[in-house]
Each structure stands twice: as C-alpha cells, then as structure tokens.
Structure 1
C-alpha cells in the first residue's frame, strides 16, 4: 500500500500540541479513516449502534516540544483533514454509518468549542497530492505548508504570522468601527483572549440576524448596472468548454446567453455561503461554473468596476467597495503571502492569474511539511497585495483527465477532479 510522510513542526511555543488525521481511505473502499496516536497505524471505525459514540482508539498524535518536528505516515486519502489542537485533546465522535462527528466552531455546545484548534485540508491519490489552507469557516492557529516533490522542488504557502489571529481580530474590530455592520461579532474570545475569528457565514450560523441585508444595496446596484443600456453587458468566462457567456438583467432576472441559465438577486446569506438560494449547486456544470465566478465577484465586490469575470480581474481591485467581504479581505492582507481560502470559491482567478487559495499540489510528492504556529512576524499591511506578489495559478502538470482529456485549471475544481479519478467525491 502506498504511503506518504508528513513532517509536522511545532512552532506554537507550547509543548502540548496534538495532531489528528481524518479522511476516506481510497485503498480500503473509501472507508472512514483516522490515524492512531503512533502516527502510522490506521484506524477504521465500525458503525456504532447509536449516535455520539466515542472512538475506540486514541487518535491524538502528540507533537514534540516547541521547535521539534514529528513525522507521520498516511495512506491514500480523499476529503482529508490534518487537525491541530493546543493544550487539550479534541473530541471526535461517531454516528451510525459510521459517520464522523467533527469539531465545530458553529455549535457552542460542542465539546471542542472553547478549545484552541485549527486544520488544513488535503487529498492524496494515485495522481497527486493536493493540500490547502482554509479560512472558509474560521481563523485560529497559524498553519504553513511546504510540499517537496521527488525532484527536490518545493512549493510553499506561508500562512499567518505567529500573531496572525490577533491581527485579524483587531482588523475586524476596526472595520466595525467604520461601518457598524457587525464585523466585531466574528471575534470569539475565551476569558478575554482571542480564540478564533469566524467567517461571516459561520457568524450567521451562530447568530442568524448578523449581516442581514448587508449586501442588498450593492446587489441592487449591480442589477441596475446590467439592466442599464446595451453598453453594460456582463461576461463570465466559465474557464471550461462553454467559454465566455454573456448576461443582461431584464425583469429583475440576470439571464445568460446559455439557454436556461438565470439568476434572481442573491441575498447576503447566498453571497457569504456561496451555496444557497441563487448560488445553490444546480448539477448543471456550466451554470455551476458561472455561479462560482459570480459568487467570487460578489465577495470581492468587483462587478461594478469590471464586466469581464474573472479574466478582466486584478487582485489590486478586490474588496475596494465599502460593501464587501471584509473578513476575506483581512485574511488575505494578514497572511504572509496573501494566500488562503477565505470563502468557498476563493480559488476563482483570471487565467494565469495570481493564486489566492493557498494551495500546493504535485503528481510526485515526497514530503509535506506542515508548520503549526506561524513562522515570522508580518509587516503591517492594510490591503491585499498587488498582482505580482503571489504565484501564478497553474493547472495540474503532467496529468490529463481520464474523463475528458483536459487539464483542470482551478484549485477547488481540481480537487473535485482528482477525487473523481479516485471514484470518490470529496466532502471538504
């Protein structure tokens, strides 16, 4: 059975840090997988008779003292996560299936809610390793990644600096002082100390009235803009077979040149979730590609300044409107290389444009080094970096789709692609 090493470096300053690996075992019929505490032995839970059952094995992998590196070994996994916790172990439970009950930041009654923890995501199969940072749900412990391939070449995502959480929390409070929209309510504290900053979508789960009607004025402006005269036509490139599609607003409906693809006005909740109402997954590949690019444009608030999405975009123009996803803006500005998923479609980028997603991937991986705790201080930044400050986004190299002979070019779409090749849909 194929295996791959991960090197886990503890840079937290704490001598009590644990790691966990969860996912679906591709070489064992996609069975639910956890790695045992020795960092090398597989644990395949059986289905319990009732909900909320405890794990029968210890899966908390103790890292060494701060500054040390611990090596673990994984098999092929899809929809996988590498979790870290500081000072306390996490609680994972089982429901019939078996189905894993993971730690939650949106449920205050969850046993892990008041603990310090974070995670990154990955998939490793016969075709490649793909891994990314994720701030889609929340920001907490800084994580950085370096992927080394068989030829010795490396890719790095720098992540947050050691004081990154405090920088994010302070910036959210500063933004709320400007617009009173509720950004300060995304800061979660324990005993007066910042525990995490949650995304607007998570914040709305904790308090469903948060940000109500926040985007509605901007949405109305966008709808009016593309209903006004023949000069204002929206072009969305699907970056797939459909290529460029055009749209206009008529009778309050955004209608595309592809028959049957229309959108009603998205709500604030639709924009922050990327997956409800107007932006719900349709099962139509062309529409879902358009949805991803529309959702990204709304989160970055670029639709009034650029009618060519996403290929006419420039990172320097992201988040310039006063109504925008300031959580995402702040996450990117605080990250050392401005990279990391801050909303679900944060991988959308112009062809050959700068990567925003904080991903590494290679068809011949040798070692993934993951540092928990951050690497160095971040110079003061107030906005997203300019276009040339981040690497160009690239498709997977030397591996064509066995399904359609084409290379995927977007990272989150890439992960779905490699999971399909393994006959399993990723759930991350």
Structure 2
C-alpha cells in the first residue's frame, strides 16, 4: 500500500516515505482515465469539482463541461473565473488528464465558491473558518493522484466526515477494486457517538444554522481542546521502553528493522541513530508536528519509523505491542480509555473497516485499513455520492 501522504500532500499531510506493499506494471499509465459519478444523495442538485496540479506543476480545474481549465495567476485573490461545477445529474462521466494532489469535491443543492490566489494557488472551501462563504454548505471530497505510474485514489476522513462517498475502480486488466466507505446517513450516528463519548469529543461536531450536524472534524482541528489528553498513556509508553526494547519494522525493502529505548534524557533512541523526544497529544493527532514532523534532509529510515510510532499511538497499541507493526490486531485498536475516539467511531461504522481516519491509517502488518484503490492500468473510477441524511 502506498501512503496517501506520499502521493497527495493533502491538508493534514506532508510527503513521507512510501509504504510499499503492492507493485505496478512497468508500462506507463494511459494519458487519461474516466471519472464517473453515481449520485445517490437524493438532493435536487449535486455538483462535482475536480482540482489538482499537472505533473509539471500547473493548477488545473475541470470546467462544468468536463474540459480542463488552467487558471492564470491573478494580482490578488479573485473568484475562479470559469464555472467549474460539474452537474453530475446530467454529466455523469468526465475524462481526467494526469494530475497530482487532486481532489474531487462534491456539493449538494448549492454550488461552492472557489478562489485563486497569486501563484496561481487554489483556495478551496474551508471547514474550520466560520466566515468562509462555503462553511454552512454541504460538501465532501475524495482524493487522487494520477501520474505516469499509477492512479491512486482514497476516501479520507483525516479532515472530517460529511456525506459519505464510495469508490469503485475498473482497470484494463488487473481487476476491479472497491472501497465502500461509510454507509449513507452515517454522519448523525457518528455525531451521536461523539456526544456520548463526552468531553472534548463533542467539540468536533460542526452544526449548521438549523442545529443539525454539517460535519464531524478530526481531533487535530480541535487540538486545543485536548491538551494533556494522552499524557498518561504516552508517559506509560515512555516508561516501558526505558527498560524494554521497542522494535519497529520499517516494512521497506533495504531498510529493515530497528530497535530503540528511552534513555535517561527521556529521548527514544534507535540503533540507527534516529531519536525522538516524547510527543504531546497534538503531535499524535496531527502525525506531523513535534517529533513526528518530517524535515528536509530526514533519512528514509526516520520517514518510515514516524508513521509506525504515530499509528500505534493513535490506536493506543504501542504500550502493549513492542514489535510494531508486526502482530497488530484491529480488535485491539482504540481500546484504551483515552484514545483516538474519532478514529474508533469512524472505523466502527465502516462495513469493510477501510478509510483513513488519521494520516497514517495505512500502517498495517497486512490488512488494508486505508480505503485506497490503485492501479497502473486504470479505466474508470466511479465515485458513489451517498445521502447525508
């Protein structure tokens, strides 16, 4: 499995070392793939926005008729000049050229407003800025990258849950792949479960003007509400590995396995020289701050150790399993009283347990938890857009 961070550079993610587990044919991908829409929302109108960058770095957006548009750089922030709201009830399939770091954003009933900054750089809708014109509208997205080697697409709950999406990929020879995603009308039950969890978890629910949930956010976006939340668990982990070896299998050919211990200075040091200070809760939720931040010049080994430490802390399995991620059992994920309950609740609603609930949710000894489809010979990627309620 290839990490969404390596391919997508999405809002919660910085590029990291790929998690290899599946090869692709040596032949180049086709020039385009077909993107199809299965609208199950029940809404009066549903729109899709396909945005990304070309492989040579230009901003590209598909227009309402499905043709590519390359916005010029404005002198100041300006609304997107072309209508790029694809009306999927009447245009159920478009042709997509090569693009990276791409999203397919869906909105029901009302169109979204996109803006362009100098660069040009796209300004997408905001789910955290209450002053954003799109804040109270119903929208959701999936992600993809389509380069010369592979089409990689995934359902992501790293940012939030809104109306559910599903993916189905057909290929020209390597077989079909499906990620069902959350069932229709899942948001309200997820919001109810967060309310039942109580405490800071209730702060993750964003409601619309009528009081009904619009989306449920990842805890990363309310990190200030969780100060100290995981301190007790992290302290126990650090105490354990002051006297016991922690083994991390990078799962990367040529890198191998490293062992580490916490020294008298409170730093977790591995036998390859990589060292990690003790993280705080916000570092665990984001997976890319404090000791988990990836910097220019970091070794491939560090880039492979970080995801496995961050995943085990989100799942609160690091205390019990000193051999990561070997032997990780999904039945034992999120069992601590203080854990990533957002990820626990989201996964509890997924019929196949597949969907990114935090940035390194693709870390696994074998089973795929990530909700990704990928192929070097893509034909059609169908996105099912399910009802919010």
Indicate whether the TM-score tops 0.5.
yes
**Shift of residue 152, structure 1, vs aligned partner:** 7.6
Which residue number in structure 2 is paired with residue 267 of structure 1?
Answer: 280
CA contact (8 A) 1:54 1:93 kept: yes
* 2:228 counterpart of 1:213: yes
**Shift of residue 127, structure 1, vs aligned partner:** 1.6
Q: Deviations along 1:296-326, whole A, 9 cap, x unmatched?
A: 0000000111000011211111111111101
Match of 1:24 among 53, 56, 75: 53
How do residues 368-387 of structure 1 correspond to structure 2 at under 5 angstroms?
A: 368-373=381-386
**Shift of residue 141, structure 1, vs aligned partner:** 1.0
- What 5-or-longer segments of structure 1 have no aligned partner? 378-428
Which residue number in structure 2 is paired with residue 276 of structure 1?
Answer: 289
CA contact (8 A) 2:354 2:368 kept: yes
Which residue number in structure 2 is paired with residue 145 of structure 1?
Answer: 167
Q: Deviations along 1:15-71, whole A, 9 cap, x unmatched?
A: 211000000122xx32100000012x1100000011x21111100011217xxx711
Which residue number in structure 1 is paired with residue 272 of structure 2?
Answer: 258
- What 5-or-longer segments of structure 2 have no aligned partner? 1-29
Match of 1:2 among 28, 31, 35: 31
Which residue number in structure 1 is paired with residue 63 of structure 2?
Answer: 36
* 2:25 counterpart of 1:14: no
**C-alpha separation in 1, matches of 2:272 and 2:338:** 30
**Shift of residue 93, structure 1, vs aligned partner:** 0.5
1:13–1:374 distance in 2 versus 1, CA, 3 Å: closer
Q: Deviations along 1:301-358, whole A, 9 cap, x unmatched?
A: 00111000011211111111111101011111111211111111111111xx111100
How do residues 80-91 of structure 1 correspond to structure 2 at under 5 angstroms?
A: 80-91=102-113
**C-alpha separation in 2, matches of 1:168 and 1:216:** 25
**C-alpha separation in 2, matches of 1:303 and 1:145:** 32
**Shift of residue 153, structure 1, vs aligned partner:** 2.4
Which residue number in structure 2 is paired with residue 62 of structure 1?
Answer: 87
**C-alpha separation in 1, matches of 2:95 and 2:57:** 18
Q: Deviations along 1:64-90, whole A, 9 cap, x unmatched?
A: 17xxx7111110111110010011111
How do residues 150-165 of structure 1 correspond to structure 2 at under 5 angstroms?
A: 150-151=172-173, 153-165=175-187
How do residues 405-424 of structure 1 correspond to structure 2 at under 5 angstroms?
A: none
**C-alpha separation in 2, matches of 1:312 and 1:338:** 17
Match of 1:95 among 117, 142, 148: 117
**C-alpha separation in 2, matches of 1:325 and 1:300:** 7
- Which structure is richer in relative contact order (CA contacts within 8 A, separation 6 or more)? 2
**Shift of residue 203, structure 1, vs aligned partner:** 2.2
Report SS of the residue matched to 2:241.
helix
Report SS of the residue matched to 1:236.
strand
Which residue number in structure 1 is paired with residue 13 of structure 2?
Answer: none
Which residue number in structure 1 is paired with residue 217 of structure 2?
Answer: 198
Match of 2:251 among 239, 252, 256: 239
**Shift of residue 103, structure 1, vs aligned partner:** 1.0
CA contact (8 A) 2:245 2:261 kept: yes
> What is the root-mean-square deviation of aligned Cα atoms in Å?
1.6
**C-alpha separation in 1, matches of 2:121 and 2:304:** 30
Which residue number in structure 2 is paired with residue 365 of structure 1?
Answer: 378
Match of 1:186 among 195, 198, 204: 204
How do residues 92-131 of structure 1 correspond to structure 2 at under 5 angstroms?
A: 92-131=114-153
1:373–1:238 distance in 2 versus 1, CA, 3 Å: same
Report SS of the residue matched to 1:88.
coil
Which residue number in structure 1 is paired with residue 325 of structure 2?
Answer: 310
**C-alpha separation in 2, matches of 1:111 and 1:374:** 22
Which residue number in structure 1 is paired with residue 15 of structure 2?
Answer: none
Which residue number in structure 2 is paired with residue 134 of structure 1?
Answer: 156
Q: TM-score w.r.t. structure 1 length?
A: 0.81
Which residue number in structure 2 is paired with residue 168 of structure 1?
Answer: 190
Which residue number in structure 2 is paired with residue 385 of structure 1?
Answer: none
Q: Deviations along 1:231-282, whole A, 9 cap, x unmatched?
A: x2100111122211001111211111112x1111101110101001111103
* 2:48 counterpart of 1:48: no
Q: Deviations along 1:149-184, whole A, 9 cap, x unmatched?
A: 1138211000111121112111111111xxx3x101
> Which 4+ stretches in 1 moved above 4 angstroms?
none
**C-alpha separation in 2, matches of 1:349 and 1:37:** 39
